[in-house]
Structure 1
């Protein structure tokens, strides 16, 4: 999703900035794809909260350290917009609105017939098809101030932001490249990070649903449970129930009971992802999958940690 920022330099660096970490990946294009360079810097608690930059100067200083360590001085960069600031909304528009006029039409309607929970949105549009003699579109919007806060801090440290994306699209791109998704399926992607779950659903290679769920409060993760009772993730019980509710909502509210999610892909950097995988495999009616360990290799042929899939999917933005 390009939010008015463009660029086509093949040496674009790809940054994922979350509440807990900054990650970077740089691809060598070819077949197979090689993760040429990658890196991670953990963030102190409170620098970013729910996707909002709280300690601007601290984040700028850490970014400058990353730029030096990763050798990306003055590079063009793509970045991920925080899922907590994204709204996805199905909208019906008149059938006679041409595709190249959709954004102009929506710009006029936002705030009148189309209501968003924030002012001054930046948005993109996905055309879904026809419904009730109208066009059905998916409106993907984020507050301008959130996107500009990330753009501005990247400018501050002498990087050149050229494109923004959202994590579900970047992840879907990665899974598509690895033949883990099918256009005909109803795919749910569960991005389980330490502080945030992002639920998204795709059909016909298009995003249909997106919902972020922040884990409330400061959760002290327990030590890994030596047995199989998965007690270490007891605090996620309500989150698991929310996932099951999304299954029902998608089937009955969005699709009148005619279709259901039939494939689930689990990803993220949560330290208990293995236990989460086991629990969801038992609870959900659809098969739950994870990306193969060898789906990303570095220049030396070594496996790259799975939580870099988001940065790699971002790097594929102008390729697929």
Structure 2
């Protein structure tokens, strides 16, 4: 047994904020030791990709200093159009032959030259088809230039990257234990993108990341920074600008509906039991009510492991929600072995 608890930080970055959750312990018994967020200057990160490394380094140093975060080990979430997630069926082969076949056929699924991406895969299940037993394989590819830009920037902030994960795929750890054998949808809404993950009996079955257009992104900035001169309404500590938020709701709701419809068309025997929301926008009542009305199904705002946040929520005096830090926390949980 080690004398010291493992400690690391889950790091979630979008075009407006950097959010960090520091954890220690194990994935089965985690403890949140610190958390915090800082705003990014406009243009530092765009569509989930770093545009101004110097500004991002300054924000990271401010985050670590302001909240007295101790660990320099981070699990970072990549959340942009340069991360591709695909599901594919391959014949059951020994590991070495399977790996060679996947690399050979990956170009059928990945819209980039393979020399330009880091490619990873995992076998998530076995299925029986007319042609025999097949592996259901999860493929994840990320453009090297995007990854290296993050790696260099975080290194300039004296952070050590333990792992890089797809923000969409880490949401699996946020689903309540009692529903992990059901078919559930979990949606993360941040300032640059919307992630949709469908889990079937605790196995990833569908994953999609929708990067917001500049119009939607500008609307989100307007809503959360209160720049517009349209009528404002105070709601739960956030200034909500109703003309802007309605267009955002319609855009996101359309993607949720189409994703669920596509999944059900491919899995006609599957019934979706629950739809969960996490992320910065999920903390706003008007946004959630609008999405429920537009999608036409009940959605529950998920506050995963909320009891672990209680001490820090009291310490910082409000303005923080477990759902807002859900991705950062889940990244950290994966880093602990979850």
Q: How many residues align?
A: 306
Distance 1:286 1:42, change over 3 A: same
Partner of 2:103: helix, strand, or coil?
helix
Where in structure 2 are the equivalents of 1:7-46 lying within 5 Å?
Answer: 10-29=6-25, 33-46=30-43
Post-superposition CA distance 1:223-263 (Å, at most 9, x none): 55479x965522121331222121211111x21x3224221
Cα 1:181–1:299 change in 2 (3 A) is same
Kindly tell me: are residues 187 and 311 of structure 1, through their superposed partners in 2, closer, same or farther at Cα, counting changes over 3 Å? same
Match of 1:150 in 2: 150
Q: CA shift at 1:105, angstroms? A: 3.1
In the TM superposition, what is the alpha-carbon distance from 1:33 to its structure 2 partner?
4.4
Which range is displaced more, 197-206 or 131-140? 131-140
Q: Partner of 2:291 in structure 1?
A: 280
Shift of 1:28: 4.0
Distance 1:192 1:186 in 2: 20
Tell me whether 1:86 sits opposite 2:83 in the alignment: yes
Separation in structure 2 between the aligned mates of residue 48 and residue 180 of structure 1, nearest angstrom: 37
What residue in structure 2 maps to residue 239 of structure 1?
Answer: 252
Secondary structure of the equivalent of 2:281? Answer: coil
> Gapped runs of 5+ residues in structure 2?
236-240
CA distance in 2 between counterparts of 1:43 and 1:118 reads 32
- 237, 240, 248: which one aligns with 2:261: 248
Q: 1:50 aligns with which of 39, 47, 52?
A: 47
Task: Tell me the residue number matched to 1:128.
Answer: 125
8 Å Cα contact 2:11-2:77 kept in structure 1: yes
More deviation, 44-53/232-241: 232-241
Cα distance change of structure 1 residues 73 and 26 upon mapping to structure 2, 3 Å threshold: closer
C-alpha change, 1:117 and 1:300, in structure 2 (3 Å) is closer
Partner residue, 1:166: 166
Deviations 1:12-54 (A, max 9, x none): 2221111211111112437874421111111111111111111
User: Structure 1 residues 121 and 141, CA, compared in 2 at 3 Å: closer, same or farther?
Assistant: same
Larger displacement relative to structure 2 (213-222 or 289-298): 289-298
Residues 262/154 of structure 1: CA separation in 2 closer, same or farther (3 Å cut): same
Alignment of 1:117 with 2:130, yes or no, is no
Residue in structure 2 matching 1:186, options 183, 191, 207 = 183
TM-score by length of 2: 0.79
- CA distance in structure 1 between the aligned counterparts of 2:117 and 2:7, rounded to whole angstroms: 29
- Partners of 1:42 and 1:72 lie apart in 2 by 17
Taking the aligned partners of 1:292 and 1:248, their CA distance within structure 2 comes to: 26
Q: Which structure features the higher share of helix residues?
A: 2
Structure 1 position 72, deviation (Å): 4.4
Give 1:209's aligned residue: 206
User: What's 1:3 paired with?
Assistant: none
The RMSD of aligned alpha carbons is 3.1
In structure 1, the residue corresponding to 2:179 is in which secondary structure?
coil
